Homo-oligomer: A and B are copies of this chain.
Protein backbone atom coordinates (compact mmCIF):
# COMPACT_ATOMS: atom_id res chain seq x y z
CA UNK A 1 0.00 0.00 0.00
CA UNK A 2 1.53 3.31 -1.01
CA UNK A 3 1.56 6.16 1.51
CA UNK A 4 1.57 9.95 1.28
CA UNK A 5 5.35 9.91 1.78
CA UNK A 6 5.74 8.29 -1.66
CA UNK A 7 4.55 11.51 -3.31
CA UNK A 8 6.31 14.82 -3.73
CA UNK A 9 4.84 18.18 -4.74
CA UNK A 10 7.18 19.95 -7.17
CA UNK A 11 6.92 23.47 -8.59
CA UNK A 12 8.40 24.31 -11.96
CA UNK A 13 8.22 27.36 -14.20
CA UNK A 14 5.85 27.13 -17.17
CA UNK A 15 7.53 27.48 -20.57
CA UNK A 16 6.08 30.11 -22.92
CA UNK A 17 3.68 28.95 -25.64
CA UNK A 18 4.87 28.12 -29.15
CA UNK A 19 2.79 28.79 -32.27
CA UNK A 20 -0.22 26.39 -32.35
CA UNK A 21 -0.03 25.62 -28.65
CA UNK A 22 -2.41 26.39 -25.82
CA UNK A 23 -2.15 26.54 -22.06
CA UNK A 24 -4.76 24.79 -19.93
CA UNK A 25 -5.44 25.10 -16.23
CA UNK A 26 -6.89 22.06 -14.47
CA UNK A 27 -10.39 22.42 -13.02
CA UNK A 28 -10.72 18.80 -11.90
CA UNK A 29 -8.19 16.00 -11.84
CA UNK A 30 -9.15 12.35 -11.71
CA UNK A 31 -7.82 9.69 -9.38
CA UNK A 32 -8.48 6.13 -10.52
CA UNK A 33 -7.51 2.64 -9.35
CA UNK A 34 -5.60 1.92 -12.59
CA UNK A 35 -2.95 4.43 -11.51
CA UNK A 36 -1.83 1.92 -8.89
CA UNK A 37 -0.61 -0.36 -11.68
CA UNK A 38 1.39 2.45 -13.27
CA UNK A 39 3.49 2.96 -10.14
CA UNK A 40 3.92 -0.72 -9.24
CA UNK A 41 6.97 -1.41 -11.40
CA UNK A 42 5.19 -4.49 -12.80
CA UNK A 43 5.07 -4.92 -16.59
CA UNK A 44 1.56 -4.22 -17.80
CA UNK A 45 -0.38 -2.90 -20.77
CA UNK A 46 1.03 0.62 -20.40
CA UNK A 47 4.42 2.22 -19.77
CA UNK A 48 4.99 2.57 -16.03
CA UNK A 49 5.52 5.89 -14.28
CA UNK A 50 9.13 5.98 -13.14
CA UNK A 51 10.15 7.36 -9.76
CA UNK A 52 10.39 11.14 -10.12
CA UNK A 53 7.99 11.36 -13.06
CA UNK A 54 4.56 12.98 -12.93
CA UNK A 55 1.73 10.50 -12.32
CA UNK A 56 -0.52 10.06 -15.32
CA UNK A 57 -4.24 10.65 -15.35
CA UNK A 58 -7.15 12.51 -16.85
CA UNK A 59 -8.22 16.04 -16.09
CA UNK A 60 -10.81 18.58 -17.11
CA UNK A 61 -9.11 21.87 -17.85
CA UNK A 62 -9.92 25.35 -19.05
CA UNK A 63 -7.97 27.11 -21.75
CA UNK A 64 -6.26 30.16 -20.23
CA UNK A 65 -4.07 31.18 -23.16
CA UNK A 66 -4.13 30.05 -26.78
CA UNK A 67 -2.00 30.32 -29.89
CA UNK A 68 -4.17 27.61 -31.51
CA UNK A 69 -6.86 28.62 -34.04
CA UNK A 70 -9.53 26.20 -32.71
CA UNK A 71 -9.22 27.01 -29.02
CA UNK A 72 -9.88 30.22 -27.11
CA UNK A 73 -9.63 31.12 -23.43
CA UNK A 74 -12.59 29.77 -21.48
CA UNK A 75 -12.97 26.64 -23.64
CA UNK A 76 -13.04 23.42 -21.65
CA UNK A 77 -11.37 20.14 -22.59
CA UNK A 78 -10.67 16.73 -21.21
CA UNK A 79 -6.97 16.01 -21.38
CA UNK A 80 -4.73 13.19 -20.14
CA UNK A 81 -2.57 15.76 -18.37
CA UNK A 82 -1.40 13.86 -15.29
CA UNK A 83 -1.24 15.22 -11.78
CA UNK A 84 -0.42 18.80 -12.74
CA UNK A 85 -2.12 22.18 -12.33
CA UNK A 86 -1.29 23.26 -15.87
CA UNK A 87 -0.71 21.57 -19.20
CA UNK A 88 0.46 22.74 -22.60
CA UNK A 89 -1.13 21.07 -25.62
CA UNK A 90 -0.99 21.29 -29.41
CA UNK A 91 -4.69 20.42 -29.44
CA UNK A 92 -4.22 16.84 -30.63
CA UNK A 93 -4.86 15.28 -27.20
CA UNK A 94 -7.95 17.29 -26.27
CA UNK A 95 -11.60 16.24 -26.12
CA UNK A 96 -13.80 19.33 -26.24
CA UNK A 97 -16.38 19.39 -23.45
CA UNK A 98 -19.76 21.06 -23.95
CA UNK A 99 -20.77 22.49 -20.53
CA UNK A 100 -24.44 22.61 -21.63
CA UNK A 101 -24.77 18.79 -21.60
CA UNK A 102 -23.78 18.25 -17.98
CA UNK A 103 -21.33 19.70 -15.44
CA UNK A 104 -17.85 19.54 -16.97
CA UNK A 105 -16.59 17.30 -14.16
CA UNK A 106 -18.68 14.44 -15.62
CA UNK A 107 -16.16 14.21 -18.45
CA UNK A 108 -13.99 12.37 -15.91
CA UNK A 109 -16.83 10.21 -14.63
CA UNK A 110 -20.11 9.06 -16.07
CA UNK A 111 -19.45 10.80 -19.41
CA UNK A 112 -15.76 9.94 -19.49
CA UNK A 113 -13.43 7.03 -19.03
CA UNK A 114 -15.27 5.34 -16.12
CA UNK A 115 -18.62 5.64 -17.90
CA UNK A 116 -17.17 4.34 -21.15
CA UNK A 117 -15.57 1.45 -19.25
CA UNK A 118 -18.93 0.53 -17.75
CA UNK A 119 -20.67 0.86 -21.10
CA UNK A 120 -18.32 -1.29 -23.19
CA UNK A 121 -17.60 -3.83 -20.47
CA UNK A 122 -21.30 -4.38 -19.99
CA UNK A 123 -22.49 -4.10 -23.59
CA UNK A 124 -19.63 -5.91 -25.31
CA UNK A 125 -18.19 -8.35 -22.81
CA UNK A 126 -21.26 -9.21 -20.72
CA UNK A 127 -23.88 -8.52 -23.41
CA UNK A 128 -26.80 -9.01 -21.00
CA UNK A 129 -30.28 -9.92 -22.20
CA UNK A 130 -33.43 -8.47 -20.67
CA UNK A 131 -34.45 -10.38 -17.56
CA UNK A 132 -30.95 -11.57 -16.78
CA UNK A 133 -29.18 -10.91 -13.48
CA UNK A 134 -26.15 -8.61 -13.59
CA UNK A 135 -23.92 -8.60 -10.52
CA UNK A 136 -21.43 -5.75 -10.03
CA UNK A 137 -18.63 -5.57 -7.48
CA UNK A 138 -17.25 -2.18 -6.47
CA UNK A 139 -20.82 -1.11 -7.18
CA UNK A 140 -20.63 2.26 -5.43
CA UNK A 141 -17.64 3.35 -7.49
CA UNK A 142 -17.85 5.42 -10.66
CA UNK A 143 -17.78 2.39 -12.96
CA UNK A 144 -19.94 0.11 -10.82
CA UNK A 145 -22.75 2.62 -10.35
CA UNK A 146 -22.96 3.10 -14.09
CA UNK A 147 -22.89 -0.63 -14.82
CA UNK A 148 -25.85 -1.27 -12.53
CA UNK A 149 -27.92 1.53 -14.01
CA UNK A 150 -27.19 0.60 -17.62
CA UNK A 151 -28.12 -2.98 -16.72
CA UNK A 152 -31.46 -1.66 -15.40
CA UNK A 153 -31.99 0.39 -18.59
CA UNK A 154 -31.41 -2.85 -20.55
CA UNK A 155 -34.13 -4.58 -18.54
CA UNK A 156 -31.92 -6.63 -16.25
CA UNK A 157 -31.92 -7.26 -12.53
CA UNK A 158 -28.96 -5.30 -11.07
CA UNK A 159 -27.27 -6.48 -7.90
CA UNK A 160 -24.36 -4.67 -6.29
CA UNK A 161 -21.62 -5.47 -3.81
CA UNK A 162 -20.08 -2.59 -1.88
CA UNK A 163 -18.06 -1.93 1.25
CA UNK A 164 -20.37 -0.14 3.70
CA UNK A 165 -23.99 -0.11 4.78
CA UNK A 166 -24.17 3.51 3.64
CA UNK A 167 -23.10 2.51 0.12
CA UNK A 168 -25.58 -0.38 0.06
CA UNK A 169 -28.44 1.91 1.12
CA UNK A 170 -27.39 4.46 -1.48
CA UNK A 171 -27.28 1.86 -4.26
CA UNK A 172 -30.71 0.43 -3.51
CA UNK A 173 -32.57 3.55 -2.42
CA UNK A 174 -31.06 6.22 -4.63
CA UNK A 175 -29.41 4.55 -7.61
CA UNK A 176 -32.04 1.89 -8.24
CA UNK A 177 -30.18 -1.38 -7.78
CA UNK A 178 -32.58 -4.27 -7.13
CA UNK A 179 -30.39 -5.57 -4.32
CA UNK A 180 -26.98 -4.98 -2.80
CA UNK A 181 -24.94 -6.17 0.14
CA UNK A 182 -21.98 -5.09 2.24
CA UNK A 183 -19.06 -7.45 1.64
CA UNK A 184 -17.39 -6.39 4.88
CA UNK A 185 -20.33 -7.85 6.81
CA UNK A 186 -20.30 -11.12 4.86
CA UNK A 187 -17.95 -13.98 5.57
CA UNK A 188 -19.44 -16.50 3.17
CA UNK A 189 -20.30 -14.98 -0.18
CA UNK A 190 -21.84 -17.98 -1.94
CA UNK A 191 -24.98 -18.24 0.23
CA UNK A 192 -25.24 -14.45 0.24
CA UNK A 193 -25.08 -14.35 -3.56
CA UNK A 194 -27.71 -17.09 -3.81
CA UNK A 195 -29.93 -14.96 -1.59
CA UNK A 196 -29.53 -11.69 -3.54
CA UNK A 197 -29.42 -13.43 -6.95
CA UNK A 198 -32.14 -16.09 -6.58
CA UNK A 199 -32.10 -16.73 -10.35
CA UNK A 200 -28.30 -17.14 -10.37
CA UNK A 201 -25.81 -14.79 -12.01
CA UNK A 202 -25.79 -14.34 -15.77
CA UNK A 203 -23.29 -11.50 -15.91
CA UNK A 204 -20.68 -10.50 -13.38
CA UNK A 205 -18.89 -7.18 -13.82
CA UNK A 206 -15.82 -7.42 -11.64
CA UNK A 207 -14.00 -4.42 -10.23
CA UNK A 208 -12.47 -6.09 -7.19
CA UNK A 209 -11.29 -9.69 -7.60
CA UNK A 210 -10.41 -12.06 -4.76
CA UNK A 211 -12.92 -14.06 -2.71
CA UNK A 212 -15.92 -12.15 -4.07
CA UNK A 213 -15.00 -13.13 -7.60
CA UNK A 214 -14.46 -16.77 -6.56
CA UNK A 215 -17.98 -16.83 -5.14
CA UNK A 216 -19.50 -15.15 -8.19
CA UNK A 217 -17.91 -17.76 -10.47
CA UNK A 218 -19.45 -20.53 -8.36
CA UNK A 219 -22.90 -18.94 -8.81
CA UNK A 220 -22.76 -18.37 -12.57
CA UNK A 221 -25.63 -19.62 -14.66
CA UNK A 222 -25.02 -21.66 -17.81
CA UNK A 223 -23.27 -19.48 -20.40
CA UNK A 224 -22.46 -16.84 -17.80
CA UNK A 225 -20.19 -13.95 -18.72
CA UNK A 226 -17.66 -12.29 -16.47
CA UNK A 227 -16.05 -8.97 -17.35
CA UNK A 228 -12.78 -8.47 -15.49
CA UNK A 229 -12.57 -4.70 -15.42
CA UNK A 230 -10.61 -4.17 -12.22
CA UNK A 231 -9.07 -6.17 -9.39
CA UNK A 232 -8.66 -3.49 -6.77
CA UNK A 233 -8.36 -6.00 -3.90
CA UNK A 234 -5.17 -7.29 -5.53
CA UNK A 235 -3.38 -4.12 -6.63
CA UNK A 236 -1.26 -3.70 -3.53
CA UNK A 237 -0.06 -7.32 -3.47
CA UNK A 238 3.62 -7.80 -4.11
CA UNK A 239 3.05 -11.39 -5.26
CA UNK A 240 -0.14 -13.02 -6.55
CA UNK A 241 -2.52 -13.98 -3.76
CA UNK A 242 -3.49 -17.64 -3.74
CA UNK A 243 -7.06 -18.72 -4.36
CA UNK A 244 -8.94 -21.86 -5.34
CA UNK A 245 -8.56 -23.10 -8.89
CA UNK A 246 -12.08 -22.79 -10.33
CA UNK A 247 -11.65 -23.26 -14.06
CA UNK A 248 -13.39 -26.64 -13.83
CA UNK A 249 -16.45 -24.65 -12.85
CA UNK A 250 -16.25 -22.81 -16.18
CA UNK A 251 -16.78 -26.13 -17.95
CA UNK A 252 -19.78 -26.94 -15.76
CA UNK A 253 -21.39 -23.56 -16.54
CA UNK A 254 -19.76 -23.05 -19.98
CA UNK A 255 -18.96 -19.53 -18.92
CA UNK A 256 -16.40 -17.03 -20.03
CA UNK A 257 -14.17 -14.66 -18.10
CA UNK A 258 -12.79 -11.81 -20.16
CA UNK A 259 -10.45 -8.96 -19.32
CA UNK A 260 -11.27 -5.53 -20.75
CA UNK A 261 -9.51 -2.24 -21.15
CA UNK A 262 -11.48 0.79 -22.24
CA UNK A 263 -8.74 2.06 -24.54
CA UNK A 264 -9.46 -0.84 -26.90
CA UNK A 265 -12.79 0.84 -27.62
CA UNK A 266 -11.40 4.29 -28.46
CA UNK A 267 -12.92 4.20 -31.93
CA UNK A 268 -16.37 3.87 -30.34
CA UNK A 269 -16.11 6.45 -27.55
CA UNK A 270 -18.50 8.69 -29.48
CA UNK A 271 -21.21 6.03 -29.33
CA UNK A 272 -20.77 5.65 -25.57
CA UNK A 273 -20.73 9.41 -24.95
CA UNK A 274 -23.91 9.84 -26.96
CA UNK A 275 -25.82 6.99 -25.27
CA UNK A 276 -24.67 7.83 -21.75
CA UNK A 277 -25.24 11.56 -22.29
CA UNK A 278 -28.77 10.88 -23.49
CA UNK A 279 -29.54 8.72 -20.45
CA UNK A 280 -28.10 11.34 -18.10
CA UNK A 281 -30.21 14.08 -19.71
CA UNK A 282 -33.32 11.90 -19.47
CA UNK A 283 -32.63 11.35 -15.77
CA UNK A 284 -32.32 7.60 -16.29
CA UNK A 285 -28.63 7.51 -15.44
CA UNK A 286 -27.57 9.10 -12.18
CA UNK A 287 -24.04 9.89 -11.15
CA UNK A 288 -22.43 10.93 -7.95
CA UNK A 289 -19.18 12.74 -7.43
CA UNK A 290 -16.96 12.51 -4.40
CA UNK A 291 -14.96 15.70 -4.58
CA UNK A 292 -11.79 16.37 -2.63
CA UNK A 293 -10.67 20.01 -2.68
CA UNK A 294 -7.11 21.11 -3.32
CA UNK A 295 -4.32 19.90 -5.57
CA UNK A 296 -2.15 19.11 -2.56
CA UNK A 297 -4.70 16.44 -1.58
CA UNK A 298 -4.23 14.30 -4.73
CA UNK A 299 -2.28 11.56 -2.87
CA UNK A 300 -4.85 11.33 -0.09
CA UNK A 301 -7.73 11.25 -2.58
CA UNK A 302 -5.98 8.49 -4.53
CA UNK A 303 -5.03 6.35 -1.53
CA UNK A 304 -8.58 6.49 -0.22
CA UNK A 305 -9.73 4.51 -3.27
CA UNK A 306 -8.02 1.44 -1.82
CA UNK A 307 -9.83 1.67 1.49
CA UNK A 308 -13.09 2.44 -0.29
CA UNK A 309 -13.80 5.78 1.35
CA UNK A 310 -15.42 7.20 -1.82
CA UNK A 311 -18.97 6.88 -3.08
CA UNK A 312 -19.20 7.55 -6.79
CA UNK A 313 -16.52 9.17 -8.89
CA UNK A 314 -13.67 10.58 -6.84
CA UNK A 315 -12.27 13.84 -8.21
CA UNK A 316 -9.94 16.50 -7.00
CA UNK A 317 -11.15 20.05 -7.53
CA UNK A 318 -8.46 22.65 -8.02
Residues of A at the B interface (CB closer than 8 Å) are 44-45, 206, 209-210, 213, 222, 228-231, 234-235, 239-261, 264
Contact = CB atoms under 8 A, between A and B. Distances in A.
Contacts of A247: 206, 209, 213, 228, 231, 234, 257, 259
B244 A231 contact: no
A49 to B, nearest CB: 16
Nearest to A34: B251
A298 to B, nearest CB: 24
Contacts of A239: 244
Given A250-B258, A254-B259, A261-B254, A242 B240 contact: no
Contact of A260 (B213, B254, B260): B254
A187 to B, nearest CB: 18
Nearest to A45: B252
Total copies of the chain: 2
Nearest to A246: B240
A250 B257 contact: yes
Contacts of A228: 247-248, 250-251
A247 B230 CA distance: 9
Nearest to A244: B240
Nearest to A247: B228
A257 B256 contact: yes
A234 B251 CA distance: 13
Contacts of A222: 45
A251 B245 contact: no
Nearest to A249: B259
A89 to B, nearest CB: 28
B244 A244 contact: no
Given A213-B247, A259-B247, A44 B252 contact: yes
A289 B258 CA distance: 36
A270 to B, nearest CB: 21
Nearest to A260: B254
A241 B243 CA distance: 8
Contacts of A230: 251
A228 B230 CA distance: 22
A208 to B, nearest CB: 10
A222 B268 CA distance: 19
B44 A245 contact: no
Nearest to A209: B247
A250 B247 CA distance: 14
A214 to B, nearest CB: 9
Contacts of A264: 254
A165 B243 CA distance: 32
Contact of A259 (B255, B258, B260): B255
A239 B264 CA distance: 38
User: Nearest 10 CB-CB pairs, A to B?
Assistant: A250-B259, A240-B244, A256-B258, A251-B259, A231-B248, A242-B242, A243-B245, A257-B257, A228-B250, A228-B247
A202 to B, nearest CB: 15
Contacts of A258: 250, 254-257
